[in-house]
Amino acid sequence: MKQTILAAAAVSLLLGGCARVADSRFNPFNWFGQSQSEPVSVEVTEATQDGRLLIDQVTELAVDRTPTGAIIRAVGLPQTQGFWDAELVRVPGGAPGVATYEFRVLPPVTPNPQSTQQSREIIAGAFLTNPQLNRVRTIVVTGQRNQRSLRR
């Protein structure tokens, strides 16, 4: 009976300690925090070979954990309605431990009204496997006017 109580107490202390340590990698709430908006600090190419442009603004950035990795989810805001074919395009190279993406979209075929912010929002995502995620400390998604970043 004493052994069971001691084992239960040891496990609860161990798990309770993980929740309080701010830098613990075992606590899933500490993997990535809130995203921060920053002005674009580097020159980015305007259009890719397939004709996609950078989104005007990146308004939200989040990382959703899965058993096999993580889904990077970004919300972008173009200038008008009608932008489509959104994708987070990985930028090769860069600093070690930083995964940089460009939020790319195709412009509308015909001119469209600006309308409300909610009607213009576009969501794009990318997937990182666990081995890729182990090498990443910062995720950056770049738009035309700003970039958002998440740090571990």
- Convert the pLDDT of each residue in 103-113 to its tens digit: 999 999 998 88
pTM for this predicted structure: 0.72
- What is the average pLDDT across 120-137? 94
> Is 83's pLDDT higher than 60?
yes
Q: What residue segments make up the domains of the chain, in order of their start?
A: 1-30, 33-151
List phi, psi (to 5°) of 146.
-155, 175
Higher pLDDT, 24 or 140: 140
> Is 74's pLDDT higher than 90?
yes
List phi, psi (to 5°) of 22.
-65, -30
Q: Would you say the C-alpha torsion 79, 83, 87, 89 has a positive or negative sign?
A: negative
Element (H, E) at 62: strand 57-66
Higher pLDDT, 29 or 63: 63
List phi, psi (to 5°) of 66.
-130, 170
Question: Which range is most confident: 16-25, 39-48, 53-62, 112-121?
Answer: 53-62
- Which residues contact residue 47 at a Cβ distance below 8 angstroms, ignoring those fewer than 6 apart? 53
Higher pLDDT, 6 or 96: 96
